[in-house]
Structure 1
Amino acid sequence: MTRTKRQSAARFKLPGARRIAIAAALAVAGYFVLADTVANVLIKATPTLASVVAPWNAKVKARALEQEYTLLGSGSNVAVGAAQARLALRGDPTATEALNVLGLQAQLENDIEKTHNIFAYSLRLSRRELPARLWAIEEAVNRGDINAALQNFDTALRTSRTAGDLLFPTLTRALAEPRIRQQVLTLLRRDPIWAPDFIRFASASQLNPTGTLQLIVEGRADDLPVAPEDRRALVDALVFESSFDEAWRYYSSYRNGVRRNASRDQDFSARIANATVFDWILSEFAWSEQEAERSRLAFDIPPTTVELLARQYSVLPAGRYTLRGAGRATATDRLETPYWSLTCRDGRELAQINLPFGTEDPQSFASDLVVPEDCPIQALELHSRAVEDIGGVSGIVEQIAIEPQGGRQ
């Protein structure tokens, strides 16, 4: 390093408090500028979504300045930082960190031309400066060039480790707009390094499950990097936001042999690493086991424990069904034996049936039920009851299934 550059670096090593203050101001301003940018993109197509992303859009600059003063007590720290930055640039005109501080100050002062000159120069020096890249996004949006804005999103995500924290939520929400979704898909077709992380975030975040599903479906021919855990997260997110039909269609598109009007995996033989709510979810007191080349559910519950042992959601169409199964429990009283139930999401119980007890061999059981029109999703669950016996309750379920009556398929 030359003597001049060493001096420049030394000048720009601000005291700890000042450096922290400037970093905080950069973060605050960057957050509001980014939100304003996204709102400007979205408001052309969907004002409602834009208001969700940045409800303060009309006064974003004033809010950024207000936040900066609230956090720092006054603008003096930014002014001191800007003075230090100018000193650094005199010694080293390529000090992009100093340019970022000056760009921040220009933004807070609403000096558009100065901001443009500073950040444009910063980008000529380095593609990796996130504050300057966020400014480039805003510039593209102001020109109405969504493609250029997304290209800058891409560059930021390729060159900054922290860009995903800022931009992934924005991109995920923006997937609700078809025009933006298609351009995001165009970026993903190039297989950027950030694609798997973005798919994982969008699938699991619950910010926009429907838009994420549309992106994945529309990009199916492009072999997007959708991992099994991403599929699981997206199905569960769709159910969480009550998009039951969409959740089932996506689930059935990759889980072979499933029927909407019946439960699944009646003998607990499936070994699914990334189980969704439409698969069996077991508690710590229950497990699937092999016995004489047959699969079954086994459970062992400590005394006084009330536990949800197993659950599987279904989206059965309205109609008549039969809940049937076979199993046994070690309980000695009907009030202590575990039981199966089928309930609607609002808590209405459609069926309840106890496991057989007081027998060494599994016994069959069955119950007829009706799924009403206003019950779009149902939970099939095995519950335990509290027992005082020191040995608790154990048992097995060899089979459990819901089937439509009348041979409907």
Structure 2
Amino acid sequence: MAKSQPRAADGRIAYDGRLSAAHAAALITADTTAAERAEAGTLARAALRRDPTAVSAAATLGVVTLVPNDVANARRLLAYAQMLSRRNVQTQLWSIEDAVGRGDIAGALRWYDIALRTKPALGDVLYPVLAQASRDPAIRTALVRTLVGKPPWSDSFVTYASGQKGDSQSTAVLFVALRARGVAMPAVAQASVVNILLNAGTVDQAWRFYAAIRHGAARDRSRDPRFAAMIDAPSLLDWTALSDNGVAASIQRTWEGGVVEFSAPASVGGPVLQQVQLLPGGTYRLSGHSDGIAQDERALPYWALTCRSDGRELGRVALANSSQAGGMFAGRLTVPANCPVQTLTLFAPASDAIGGTSGQIDRAVLAPAG
């Protein structure tokens, strides 16, 4: 009964200090009244007299002592609770708050580390606070030092932070700093950094981070011409298969690398493949190879290059049926100097054929026209 009905359990066995401690701890809530706080203090003192190892009693008494602002005594009691066990959540949370109140950044992060190692579920409470605090440069620097030590909660925090949209630029700065210190990051977090930086308009920073995680990538051409990378969490700068409104697309592994397979039912069409480009102004050649495409001319797939800032189309390259020219396709596209970020998209138009639209692309590269 100690967990579900602590008051009743304490009443049944009044001599057990651990039960009195559980009773006292249960009285401390966000809505605790002065009378309940006094009762909690009395019970906690009695519990410690009966059992000096009752951790929660020491922690509860420390919290109760804080109300009259007897901070020194509260610290003594909570330090005693911490000495007995590092598994008391109340003690951990107070220790973090106390360190923050004193401006002790390193101390606060040390308690964060202890708390999250002890009870990973505390991430639900602590990660939002830590992510918000990391916007402060001093805290961010100290946090990077902590994460360089590879605590067991590092990956889960980085993954959490990568999904936050409140201050994407600060999150990106944190991740770039982690990358610079050699901290391994989950793939989803790496992709998130690239996307955050691109969407924030910091194109050069986005590219530097991307080039660091995708060795050999070149900015003046598309990437992964054979679709061989098989990236679980692609960024905007990677090939991304698009499936929506009945259109299905996926990148499958083959002996030669990979292949993009796409299909759509009759009268349904849309984008099936996309990759953001950072091409300098100039003329480019898009070439590649298709298989399995057999459509009327008006329903043939085509590539379109658009300017990401305003959506204007820069050009198209239409595909022929795969039975023509051995499935090879090629065309020229011009990128103006005033469009630094572009999107290359493969579209499958709606078809009137009973079987709808289907096909494969096993090679595609957009490179400077030599």
Q: Look up the equivalent residue of 2:179 and give its one-letter code.
A: V
Partner of 2:5: none
- Is 1:301 aligned to 2:310, yes or no? no
Q: Look up the equivalent residue of 1:250 and give its one-letter code.
A: F
CA offset digits 1:186-220 (Å, max 9, x no partner) = 33344433333334434454554322223223312
CA offset digits 1:261-295 (Å, max 9, x no partner) = 11112232333344322211113523446789575
- Is 1:278 aligned to 2:237, yes or no? yes
Cα deviation, residue 259, structure 1? 0.7
List alignment gaps of at least 5 residues for structure 1.
Answer: 26-67
Cα deviation, residue 90, structure 1? 4.6
Cα deviation, residue 358, structure 1? 8.5
1:382 to 336, 346, 357: 346
Q: Look up the equivalent residue of 1:256 and give its one-letter code.
A: H
Partner of 1:155: 114
CA distance in 2, matches of 1:294, 1:157: 42
- Is 1:239 aligned to 2:198, yes or no? yes
CA offset digits 1:120-150 (Å, max 9, x no partner) = 3322333333332333333334444332232
Cα deviation, residue 394, structure 1? 1.5
Cα deviation, residue 391, structure 1? 0.6
Kindly tell me: are residues 115 and 292 of structure 1, through their superposed partners in 2, closer, same or farther at Cα, counting changes over 3 Å?
Answer: closer
Q: Look up the equivalent residue of 2:280 and give its one-letter code.
A: P
List alignment gaps of at least 5 residues for structure 2.
Answer: 1-11
Partner of 2:181: 219
CA contact (8 A) 1:356 1:365 kept: no
Kindly tell me: are residues 134 and 294 of structure 1, through their superposed partners in 2, closer, same or farther at Cα, counting changes over 3 Å?
Answer: closer
CA contact (8 A) 1:94 1:125 kept: yes
CA distance in 2, matches of 1:135, 1:300: 57
Cα deviation, residue 309, structure 1? 1.0
Count, aligned residues: 349
- Is 1:127 aligned to 2:86, yes or no? yes
CA contact (8 A) 1:195 1:225 kept: no
Kindly tell me: are residues 120 and 402 of structure 1, through their superposed partners in 2, closer, same or farther at Cα, counting changes over 3 Å?
Answer: same
CA offset digits 1:54-89 (Å, max 9, x no partner) = xxxxxxxxxxxxxx4xxx8x7766666556545544
| Residues 34-113 of structure 1 aligned to structure 2 (within 5 Å) | 68=31, 84-107=43-66, 112-113=71-72
Cα deviation, residue 255, structure 1? 1.5
Cα deviation, residue 4, structure 1? 8.0
CA contact (8 A) 1:261 1:404 kept: yes
Cα deviation, residue 340, structure 1? 1.7
TM-score where L is the length of structure 1: 0.70
| Residues 249-264 of structure 1 aligned to structure 2 (within 5 Å) | 249-264=208-223
Cα deviation, residue 392, structure 1? 0.4
CA contact (8 A) 1:4 1:91 kept: no
Name the one with the larger helix percent.
1
- Is 1:209 aligned to 2:148, yes or no? no
Cα deviation, residue 302, structure 1? 1.6
Kindly tell me: are residues 338 and 189 of structure 1, through their superposed partners in 2, closer, same or farther at Cα, counting changes over 3 Å?
Answer: closer
Q: 3-state DSSP class of the match of 1:304?
A: coil
CA distance in 1, matches of 2:162, 2:284: 33
Q: Look up the equivalent residue of 1:348 and give its one-letter code.
A: R
TM-score where L is the length of structure 2: 0.77
Moved more, 246-255 or 176-185: 176-185
Partner of 1:364: 329
Q: 3-state DSSP class of the match of 1:162?
A: helix
Q: 3-state DSSP class of the match of 2:361?
A: strand
Partner of 2:367: 403
